[in-house]
């Protein structure tokens, strides 16, 4: 079906070609920027003064692309998995831009299993579990240790109470109130 669409509408091919050309332009701009930074350490300030729409953050991302620290396609993707992958070494970024990662999961009966999940489909918790800071992917043993150290104990509801206390917060069956919220409500009740 993909080929049918592109064969019928050359505008789709043109759009994809323009996106690819844009990414290649980022690579080229990044490489040239790196040369300038090495020659003139204050060049980022000069570029920003020349073009106020260009921010230091944009230029730092282009520098990372130019120094082969960031795969430029990752800037087009959003989500917790992609955010974690952007902080990984370049070779890890290249690999997992197209390949799924292996995620250790605990099954309902308490045993463990692995799933292959595309980076863009990782939940925030899975992304933190799989990616180890800025060094790469965690091994299964390291994932198991991460799971053990990050399991949150579910507070138990006191028998007959419609709420659970979590430190300075109270969870009711439908909402969560902070201590300040409760004090405000109490003050409003006294004033009524």
pLDDT band of residue 4 (cuts 50, 70, 90) is low
Mean pLDDT of 32-57: 95
Q: Please state the pTM of the whole predicted model.
A: 0.69
Q: What is the pLDDT of residue 168?
A: 63
CA distances from 125 to 59, 76, 122, 130, 143 (A): 30, 22, 8, 9, 11
Give the Cβ contact number of residue 184 at 10 Å. 12
Alpha helices in the chain (DSSP H): 2-8, 10-39, 43-50, 56-66, 80-86, 90-98, 124-130, 140-150, 179-191
Judge contact between 63 and 40, C-beta under 8 A: no
Bridge-based pairing state of the strands 163-166 and 136-137? unpaired
The helix/strand/coil state of 143 is: helix
Give the tens place of pLDDT for each residue, 28-37. 999 999 999 9
The distance between the two most distant Cα atoms of the chain, rounded to a whole number of Å, is 72
Whole-number pLDDT of residue 190: 77
Does residue 57 have a pLDDT over 90?
Answer: yes
């Amino acid at each position: 079906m993909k080929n049918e669409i592109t064969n019928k509408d050359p505008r789709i091919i043109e759009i994809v070609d323009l996106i690819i050309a844009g990414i290649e332009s980022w690579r080229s701009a990044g490489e040239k920027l790196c040369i300038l930074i090495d020659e003139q350490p204050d060049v980022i300030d000069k570029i920003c003064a020349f073009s106020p729409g260009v921010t230091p953050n944009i230029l730092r991302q282009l520098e990372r692309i130019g120094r082969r620290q960031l795969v430029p396609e990752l800037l087009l993707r959003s989500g917790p998995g992609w955010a974690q992958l952007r902080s990984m070494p370049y070779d890890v970024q290249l690999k997992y831009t197209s390949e799924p990662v292996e995620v250790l999961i605990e099954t309902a009966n308490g045993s463990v299993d692995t799933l292959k999940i595309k980076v863009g489909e990782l939940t925030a918790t899975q992304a933190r579990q799989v990616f180890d800071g800025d060094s790469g992917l965690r091994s299964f043993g390291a994932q198991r240790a991460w799971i053990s150290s990050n399991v949150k104990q579910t507070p138990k509801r006191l028998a007959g109470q419609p709420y659970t206390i979590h430190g300075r917060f109270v969870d009711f069956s439908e909402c969560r109130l902070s201590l300040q919220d409760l004090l405000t409500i109490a003050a409003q009740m006294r004033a009524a």
